[in-house]
Amino acid sequence: MYLFLPLAFYRNTEISNTYLTKSSPKSQYHIMMYYSNTVYLCWHYLTDAVREGRNQYERAFGISSKDLFGAMYRSEEEMLKFLAGQNSIWSICGRDVLTAFDLSPFTRIYDLGGGGGALAQECVSLYPNCTVTIYDLPKVVQVAKERLVPQEEQRIAFHEGDFFKDSIPEADLYILSKILHDWDDEKCRQLLAEVHKACRPGGGVLLVESLLAEDKSGPVETQLYSLNMLVQTEGKERTAAEYSELLRAAGFEEVQVRRTGKLYDAVLGRK
């Protein structure tokens, strides 16, 4: 005797089609895979991170984290996962942070630590009169040029280097997206001082970060990001006042803050 059961049909919801399918322009597949396969392994040692006040690459992967990005980019596969994940974030947040202020007066822009180039591509799309140079480590630049940024995009250039060790070229605007939260206050002050020195008069720096409330009571997402900075980097998330103080200490004035209502916010300092 055979028992016939009715067929069941399944389909993605609209949200899963938008954010989980690889074919979607707003897919978050890559960042979710990075969280699952890399970040989550560091979170296994959250207790140790809190006790020691340092990231957990050594316990999670058996490698030294004295060179932070050497640990993060420990293989080409791992670097690609990270860069693709970061690109996916800007597919849903890039426009919000780049339009928080009118950036059209800035024509020569350097994206420090621009990685896979998604934010640079969004920037030249929004501001046709600008050019953007992605300044990043040599191996990151090579991958971005060959695999992530369309070769026909003439308004995006590349600069290989380590901006903590090498000189920073003159520009109208410097974008630091999710850069300062990787580092302690001393390293942030060091970097911003060099940016201020290189910046043209009247130019500025745009910080793109997830801002804590001034009493640090939230948002919950940003508090979780700060814990993630603990287990993965040398930094933390900060309040708008803390970023403003870092900018002013480096010489930037007219500091303005815009909360986007999304995951990342914008802080603009002018020289």
Whether 181 is catalytic: yes
Catalytic residue among 30, 44, 159, 181: 181
Please name the residues in contact with 38: beta carbons below 8 A apart, sequence gap of 6 or more. Answer: 78, 81, 82
> Given phi > 0 = left and psi -120 to 50 = alpha, else beta, which region is 161?
left
- 138: preceding bond cis by omega (within 30 degrees): no
Q: What type of residue sits at position 205?
A: V
Residue 84 burial (C-beta neighbours within 10 Å; 0-12, 13-18, 19+): buried
> Tokens 């392994």 identify what position?
41
Contact assessment for residue 82 and residue 147, using Cβ atoms and an 8 Å cutoff: no
Residue 238 burial (C-beta neighbours within 10 Å; 0-12, 13-18, 19+): buried
Rounded Cα–Cα distance for residues 118 and 268 (Å): 20
User: For the chain, give me the number of helices (H) and strands (E)?
Assistant: 12, 7
Q: What residues act catalytically?
A: 181
